[in-house]
Amino acid sequence: MRGARTLVDLLRSKQDNDKSLGQHFLINDDLIALPLQYAEIVKHDHVLEIGPGPGVLTEALLEQGCKVTAIEIDEGAVKHLQKVFASEITAGQLNLLSGDALQVKWPSSISKVVANIPYQISSPLVELLTKYLRNEEVSLLQKVVLLVQEEFAERLVMEYESDVGSLGMTALLDWQSEMLQKVAPHNFSPNPRVNSCFIEMTPSHEQFDCDKRLVKQVIHQAFKQRRKKIRTSLKSVPRRLNRVPNWYSARWKMAISSLADDERMNARPEEFDFDDWIGFCQDLEKIQDNS
């Protein structure tokens, strides 16, 4: 193995770091090995890596003998990876895709996702992972291990009471998430200004007696005005309500109005736990617009 420092230096010799892409490369080889252990990578896995950059994690994954699909948006990094891993690409072990991981179509055979992601795509990536997981054509995804900003990790797992919000609550619809290990800035090149953390997301495959898409809409709408009571925040119709089958403005207004005397309407969103949201949405769905 070339090692992290060598790979980062090789890329740096060809181009400067692109701050707009959130490029902070992990250079501690011991830490690079951790996500492979957490994800329990085995030879028959097909692993998706997002933002391989210099290829430090790519190299470690390929050493395990698994198939890797890596998506990189930086054209300079793509050329670097094509040269460094030419033999693995030729052999078909590495499938290198050039483009935005939030736009490029992912293979349907992914079993694990392991990545040190640009922190600015953390939230949209979790949404995309959820969409991928819910795809009926996808059934192999077992585990996701990401290196993210520590603050994001805390909000995802709702580590503290102040972290309770729409991100963590909606993630619980599909994932069991856990903070694994914090990573200090000096382990990166260049050093980020924040602490980082490995997180694990395991599909729960849990089903509910209400539409998950409605639950997501309700939670997001409530937490937009988290200091206000639910009766106030839910008066407004969610902007994307029409994405939920059989839901539209008139039905929403009727459903919310019918619960006007429900004591839950006087609660603030952080006072609801996950089961409260599910129960509330089940009651909303019972109310039909018969006009």
The model's confidence at residue 168, banded by pLDDT at 50, 70 and 90, is very high
Residue 190 sits in the same domain as residue 233: no
Mean pLDDT of 271-291: 88
Determine if the pTM surpasses 0.95: no
Q: 119-153 b/e with 16+ CB inside 10 Å = b?
A: bebbeebbebbbebbeeeeeeebebbbbbbbbbbb
- Among left, alpha and beta (phi > 0; psi -120 to 50; other), residue 215 is alpha
What percent of the chain has pLDDT above 90?
85
Predicted pLDDT of residue 138: 83
Cα pseudo-dihedral 217, 219, 224, 229, rounded to 10 = 120
For 54, the domain range is: 4-203
Residue 84 sits in the same domain as residue 25: yes
Asked if pLDDT for residue 12 goes beyond 90, the answer is: no
Mean pLDDT of 132-154: 94
Asked if pLDDT for residue 213 goes beyond 90, the answer is: yes
Residue with tokens 């000096």: 186
Q: Which helix (H) or strand (E) holds 175?
A: strand 175-183
Residue 125 sits in the same domain as residue 74: yes
Q: Bridge partners of 182? A: 197
Q: Bridge partners of 114? A: 145
Mean pLDDT of 207-211: 94
Predicted pLDDT of residue 265: 97
Contact between 165 and 224 under an 8 Å Cβ cutoff? The reply is no
Predicted pLDDT of residue 123: 96
Asked if pLDDT for residue 278 goes beyond 90, the answer is: yes
The model's confidence at residue 22, banded by pLDDT at 50, 70 and 90, is low
291 is a domain residue: no
Domain end point (choices 203, 231, 262): 203
Mean pLDDT of 30-41: 96
Predicted pLDDT of residue 104: 96
pLDDT tens-place string over residues 172-201: 999 999 999 999 999 998 888 899 999 999
Predicted pLDDT of residue 144: 98
Residue 58 sits in the same domain as residue 168: yes
The model's confidence at residue 224, banded by pLDDT at 50, 70 and 90, is very high
Predicted pLDDT of residue 18: 67
Give me the CATH number covering residue 241.
1.10.8
What's the first-to-final CA gap in the chain, in angstroms? 68
- Give whole-number Cα distances, 48 to 58, 66, 153, 247, in Å: 10, 11, 20, 35
pLDDT tens-place string over residues 236-277: 999 999 999 999 999 999 999 999 999 999 999 999 999 999
230 is a domain residue: yes
Residue 15 sits in the same domain as residue 82: yes
> Which burial class, exposed, middle or buried, applies to 182 when counting CB atoms under 10 A from its CB (0-12, 13-18, 19+)?
exposed
Q: Could you tell me how far CA 133 lies from the centroid of its own chain? A: 11
Give me the CATH number covering residue 170.
3.40.50.150
Residue 159 sits in the same domain as residue 49: yes
Cα gap 239→246, rounded to integer Å: 15
Number of domains in the chain: 2
Query: What mean pLDDT is reported for the chain?
Result: 93
Residue 195 sits in the same domain as residue 56: yes
- The helix-helix angle for 150-157 and 122-134 (nearest 10°) equals 40
> Which burial class, exposed, middle or buried, applies to 199 when counting CB atoms under 10 A from its CB (0-12, 13-18, 19+)?
buried
Q: Which helix (H) or strand (E) holds 217?
A: helix 212-223
131 is a domain residue: yes
Residue 227 sits in the same domain as residue 103: no
Predicted pLDDT of residue 64: 96
Predicted pLDDT of residue 8: 85
Lowest mean pLDDT among 22-36, 80-94, 255-269: 22-36
Predicted pLDDT of residue 69: 98
Domain end point (choices 186, 203, 220): 203
